[in-house]
Amino acid sequence: MDIKETYKFLICGDSISRGVIFDESKGKYTILKDSYTSLLEDKIKGVILNAARFGNTLTKGISRVTNEISKLHPDIIILEFGGNDCDFNWNEVAKNPYINHLPNTDFDTFEKTLTDFIISMKHDGITPILLSLPPIDADRYFKWISENDDKKKNSILKWLGSVNKIYWWQERYNSAIIDTAIITNTKWIDIRGAFLKQPDYRKFLCIDGIHPNSEGHKIIADKMLEFTKVNYAYLLK
């Protein structure tokens, strides 16, 4: 990457990068003022455009930013996907736990789409950087998707087999992110590792078990700054 006075950063991801948290006092999802992107803005040379959206999967997110990429031609694009891709329609699972259900993005499509997009960005002179997935609290997430309804819990569990499978399934997509980074020789930031280093990473997640809370966003920001100091120190003020 060329040394310049200022750089353009494009954040492409889902609700985590958008800064969505669950506010228990209000009983609803809100946007966190001091999200990891906000915490980084004052420390980097340039401007951050946040194109992340609640509910984004990889394919949705890429299609939504295609025009922005061609207009802005960012220097760096941060990719944070997988959480929605690996998720299921839990209402449909609960309705019929005896049939096969597919995730929002099947595993092979996720890997191929991510690989193709990275190659495309590099071909256009843009530096892609991948974020690994924060770990989820499977127990808390299971309660969330079953809405604390015993009938729904039992039905979903018939299909799942074990609550721990939720963690394993998300870990599988996280592994795909890292494998893709290695295969395409792309740098990645170990966000998952930063959470797992904590004595109890669950303290840094919202009640839904999947969204990092305000302290979780600080962990993400600190890890990204640490990574930048080691690999791209010239990007920092």
pLDDT for 120-153, tens place per residue? 999 999 999 999 999 999 999 999 999 989 999 9
CB atoms near residue 48 (< 10 Å): 17
Contact 85, 105 (CB under 8 A): yes
pLDDT for 70-101, tens place per residue? 888 999 999 999 999 999 999 999 999 999 99
Q: Give the pTM.
A: 0.96
Contact 45, 6 (CB under 8 A): yes
Task: Give CA–CA dist 209/135, Å, rounded.
Answer: 9
Q: Which amino acid is at 99?
A: I
Task: Give CA–CA dist 130/79, Å, rounded.
Answer: 5
Distance of CA 88 to the CA centre of its chain: 16
What pLDDT, on a 0 to 100 scale, did the predictor assign at position 47?
94
Task: Give CA–CA dist 209/179, Å, rounded.
Answer: 25
Strands (E), 68-226: 76-80, 127-131, 188-189
Q: What are the chain's domains? A: 7-235 (3.40.50.1110)
